[in-house]
Amino acid sequence: PSLFLDEDGNRMDNADKGHMAAGVPGTVAGLNLAHERWGVLPWEQVVRPAEEIARKGIIVTRDLSEALRWGRGRLESSDAAIAAFFKPDGSPYQYGDRLVQLDLAWTLDRIATHGAEDFYQGEIAQRFVADMQANGGLITAPDLADYKAKLRSPIATDYRGYRVVTMPPASSGGVALLEMLNMLESFDLKEMGHNSASTMHIMSEVMKLAYADRRKSMGDPDFVENPVQRLISKAYASDRTSGLSRKRSSPPEAIAPFDSMAKESEDTTHYSIADKDGNIVSNTYTLGSSFGSGVVVEGTGVLLDNQIRNFSLRVDVPGATFSNSRMNAIAPGKRMLSSMTPTIVFRDGKPFLVVGSPGGSTIINTVLQIILNVVDHDMNLAEATYAPRFHQNWKPSELEIERGFNADSLAILGEMGHEIEVRDTIGSAQTILLDNGQIYAAPDPRRPGSGAAGVGNTRIRMSD
C-alpha cells in the first residue's frame, strides 16, 4: 500500500493514472480459456476480424470524438497513448475521420498466429516488460508468465420461481444482486406498483443493506474466506429485512455491515449473446476508468487498466470510503473486487434472460431493476430497459434518480427522509430474452453505440 499512499495516508494519483496503476491484464487469457473450453471455430479465425478492424481503421463517431477530447488528460499518461489515439500532429480525431491502430493490429496478429501465450511470454510480453521498465511500472516478465485465468463456480438463488445465476467473487456484484433479490422476495412489488414511492423506498432500503455488506465482507477467494453462502441465503435475507422500516429512510450510520474502494468508474463494457444452438454468453469486463490508466504499451497499441485503485489501500484509516476493508486489501498476486454482474436467469430450467451492464457500482442495481421489471412487473424488454432507473448506495446516502419519475412519488420519498439527487443516465443494460424459440433483444439507448444484431440464420426480434 505504501507505494500508492502519501505520508498522510492519502491515495496518490499513481494508483489511478500511469504505469503503476495497472494490474496484470487478464482479458486475453480469459478469452483464450473460454475458447479452449467451449470454442468451435479455430482460434485464428476468431481473432482475425479484430486485427483487420485495427489495421483498416474505424470511422470515428461523434461519441468517440468527444470521449477522446475529454480523455486527453488521462491519455497523456504515455506518449504511446497520444500516438495511438491522436493524429501525428497531436490534434484530435474528428467525427468522420478514420482511426487506424497499426500497433494494435500487430499485437492481434501475434495473438491470432502465435496464440494467447505470446501476450504473456512471447514478443508482446517482451515489449510490455520493456515499457514497464522504461516508465517505472511494476509488472515484470514473471508476473505476465505466471498469470492464469480462473474458472469459478457461479452462484445462484431462486426468485419467484426463476433461477438467477451470476458471478461469484472476486466480483462483489453477484452476491449483492442475489442478496437483494432474496430480501425483495418477501414484498409484493407487483401490487405495490412499478416505481411507486412505496416500491422505491423498499428497494432503496434493501440496496443500502446489500451495498453495506458488499463493501465489508468480500475479497479475492484465493486470499480470503468469503461468507458467500451466508450472504445469499434466504435466512440471512429474512434477518436483514426484519428491522426494515416501511415509513422512514435509514441513515447510513444506522446500517451495520455484515462483518470501502475508491469511487468506481462507470466506464465498463458488457455484451450479451444467444445463438441458434442455445449457447448463452453474459460477459462484463473493464479497464476501470475511461481509457483505464491512460497508458498504451509502446509498440503494442494495448491500453492498460487502472484497477489498482479498486483495492483497499488504507485499511487502517477509520471511515475511509470503500478503502478500509481488509478483505480487499492490496497484495501481490491478488485480484481486486469489482461490481461486474453478468447474469443469466433461467425459467423452467431453460435460459430466459441474459443481462449485464457497465456502470461501476451502479451495475448491480441496473441488473436488479431489469430483472424486477420483467419478472415482477410483466414488462417486455424494451419497457424494462427504457424505464427510468434509480441507484442507492450505502455511502453516500443520496437516492440517485434519472429523469422521468413521478413528481408526487418523489415528494413522498422526500417526506420519508430520502435525499433525492437527479443525475444523468444510470447503467447501459444489454439484455436478451428467450421465449418460445424466439430471441428478443433490447439495447439500452442510454449510451451511444449500443445495438442488437443477428448473424447468419439466428433470428432476433427487437422487443417492442
For the cut 80, the answer to whether the pLDDT of residue 198 exceeds it is: yes
Cell matching residue 428: 447501459
Query: 361-378, pLDDT tens digit by residue?
Result: 899 999 999 999 999 999
Helix and strand element counts for the chain (H, E): 17, 14
Contact by Cβ (8 Å): 324, 12: no
Of 206, 166, 215, the residue nearest 182 (C-alpha):
206
- Residue 142: CB partners within 8 Å, gap ≥ 6? none
Cell matching residue 40: 468451435
Q: Is 164 helix (H, G, I), strand (E, B) or coil?
A: strand
Distance of CA 450 to the CA centre of its chain: 16
Share of the chain above pLDDT 90, in %: 70
Tell me which H or E stretch contains 196. Answer: none
DSSP E strand stretches across 160-217? 162-166
Instruction: Label the pairing between strands 390-392 and 399-401.
Output: antiparallel
Task: Report the chain's mean pLDDT, rounded to a whole number.
Answer: 90
**What was the pLDDT predicted at 193?**
96
Residues 157, 241, 268, 341: which is the catalytic one? 268
Higher pLDDT residue, 255 or 133?
A: 133
**What was the pLDDT predicted at 72?**
94
Report residue 285's pLDDT band, with 50, 70 and 90 as the boundaries: confident
- Residue 437: CB partners within 8 Å, gap ≥ 6? none
**What was the pLDDT predicted at 262?**
39
Among 2-11, 81-90, 264-273, 410-419, name the one with the lowest average pLDDT: 264-273
DSSP E strand stretches across 294-449? 343-347, 350-355, 390-392, 399-401, 420-422, 430-435, 438-443
Q: How far apart are CA 252 and CA 256, in angstroms?
A: 8
Q: What residues form DSSP beta bridges with 400?
A: 391, 421
Share of the chain above pLDDT 70, in %: 92
Contact by Cβ (8 Å): 249, 418: yes
Q: What residues form DSSP beta bridges with 440?
A: 433, 461
Report residue 452's pLDDT band, with 50, 70 and 90 as the boundaries: low
Tell me which H or E stretch contains 413. Answer: helix 407-415
User: Can 268 be counted among the known catalytic residues?
Assistant: yes
Report residue 194's pLDDT band, with 50, 70 and 90 as the boundaries: very high
For the cut 50, the answer to whether the pLDDT of residue 259 exceeds it is: no
Higher pLDDT residue, 264 or 437?
A: 437
The dihedrals phi and psi of 374, each to the nearest 5 degrees, come to -80, -50
**What was the pLDDT predicted at 48?**
97
Helices in 100-196 by DSSP H: which ranges?
102-114, 117-121, 123-134, 141-146, 173-184, 189-192
Name the DSSP class of 99. Answer: E
The dihedrals phi and psi of 7, each to the nearest 5 degrees, come to -65, -20
Report residue 315's pLDDT band, with 50, 70 and 90 as the boundaries: low
**What was the pLDDT predicted at 296?**
97
**Cis link prior to 396 (omega < 30° from 0)?**
yes
End-to-end CA distance of the chain: 51
Q: Average pLDDT for residues 28-50, to the nearest whole number?
A: 96
Q: How far apart are CA 55 and CA 100, in angstroms?
A: 6
The dihedrals phi and psi of 84, each to the nearest 5 degrees, come to -75, -35
Of 149, 92, 95, the residue nearest 119 (C-alpha):
149
Name the DSSP class of 294. Answer: S
Contact by Cβ (8 Å): 110, 306: no
**What was the pLDDT predicted at 414?**
95
Q: How far apart are CA 451 and CA 380, in angstroms?
A: 17
Query: b/e for 176-189, b at 16 or more Cβ within 10 A?
Result: bbbbbbbbbbebeb
Q: How far apart are CA 211 and CA 104, in angstroms?
A: 38
Degrees, nearest 5: CA angle 294-359-225: 90
Distance of CA 18 to the CA centre of its chain: 21
Q: How far apart are CA 233 and CA 181, in angstroms?
A: 11
Contact by Cβ (8 Å): 228, 174: no
Residue 437: half-sphere exposure toward Cβ, Cα within 13 Å = 0
Contact by Cβ (8 Å): 203, 184: yes
Contact by Cβ (8 Å): 357, 367: yes
